[in-house]
Structure 1
Amino acid sequence: MTTRAKLFILIFLGTYGAAAAQGTGIHVVEGVGCECCIKWTEYLRENGFTVTSETSFGTLLIQHKIDLSVPTSHQSCHTGQVEGYFLEGHVPVDDIRRLLQERPDAAGLAVPGMPYGSPGMGPEDKREAYDVLLVRKDGTSEVFSRYAAADQ
């Protein structure tokens, strides 16, 4: 093997290793001026994900959700995409990691609405009960995980 080929392989492996160390990439489309969207994006970064984000206006954001097959009844303020799945609303990182590990035949995960105490929506120790839903490709959904209300 030539020195040039060895150098190319070292550079490639170094670049690949650096990308892998940065974590899984998630792209988030946030509502314009939405503070909880920004907080959820920061939460993802704090938990090891590489996040890119952009803001979108009302009807364009809704169209983005429709294009990803997010059911209207499950929509929230922001939408993420990771490895072929959508992440709608304030989905906890443990559920994202489980989704990526189990790789179900589904469209994505959703936390409908904006439940208080979900990631990016206030302190977890004051959390209201909420469910993370696994949304199938046919639009049906089932509970993926359940978060009980925090003792107050």
Structure 2
Amino acid sequence: MKLTLAAVVLVATALLAGCKDAGPAKPETTAVPDSAAALTLTVYKTPSCGCCKKWVSHLEQQGVVAQTKDYDDLSGIKERYGITPQYYSCHTAVSEQGYAFEGHIPAKYIRKFLAESHPDAIGLSVPAMPLGSPGMEVEGRFMPYDILLLHKDGSASVYAHISDAAMQ
């Protein structure tokens, strides 16, 4: 019993020593989550698509958390999020807010879109698979492309024109 009581006194003394006044208190800082680091996308892709895997790598290199889900047929996913066939590409990503990102969109434009207000939009699309876009890199080759803003009414407008690889 004496050993146990001595151990309790020793531990209590050590804990209280850490509570001594070390001078004026430092102001508390609250860590504000970095919205850029906190971006998570669910990426729907086919299991065998190599460029989809490269695009996911692009996202991850840009600090995006990409949770991949493989499906043999993505048409149901695209329909669920309101993406019509003329805007299809090989994969569809969905943000936690429910916005859809179709195709090889550079991560920085996804972040930009999510930081803005788009009440009439369902998301962004890079239709087809433009050469030189993230995941479609071929050394020395680049094809300018548009990132489209997809509207809830089924229409689209140009969100950004990517004229060279440095803009990605």
- TM-score higher than 0.5 here? yes
Deviations 1:88-145 (A, max 9, x none): 0001112101101112121010000000000000148521011000001111100000
Q: Is the 1:126–1:149 Cα contact (8 Å) retained in structure 2? A: no
Rg (Cα) greater in structure: 2
Gaps of 5+ in 1: 1-12
How many Å separate the matches in 2 of 1:101 and 1:51?
18
How many Å separate the matches in 2 of 1:100 and 1:107?
11
TM-score, structure 1 normalization: 0.80
- Pick one of 40, 65, 87 that aligns with 2:101: 87
Report the equivalent of 2:3. Answer: none
Aligned length: 134
* Greater helix fraction, Structure 1 or Structure 2: 1
Q: Is the 1:87–1:109 Cα contact (8 Å) retained in structure 2? A: yes
Report the equivalent of 1:68. Answer: 81
How many Å separate the matches in 1 of 2:37 and 2:164?
33
How many Å separate the matches in 2 of 1:121 and 1:134?
21
- Pick one of 61, 69, 75 that aligns with 1:46: 61
Q: Is the 2:36–2:111 Cα contact (8 Å) retained in structure 1? A: no
TM-score, structure 2 normalization: 0.73
SS at match of 1:107: strand
How many Å separate the matches in 1 of 2:67 and 2:88?
20
Residues 1-152 of structure 1: pairs in structure 2 closer than 5 A: 22-58=37-73, 61-82=74-95, 83-105=97-119, 106-123=121-138, 126-149=141-164
How many Å separate the matches in 1 of 2:162 and 2:131?
11
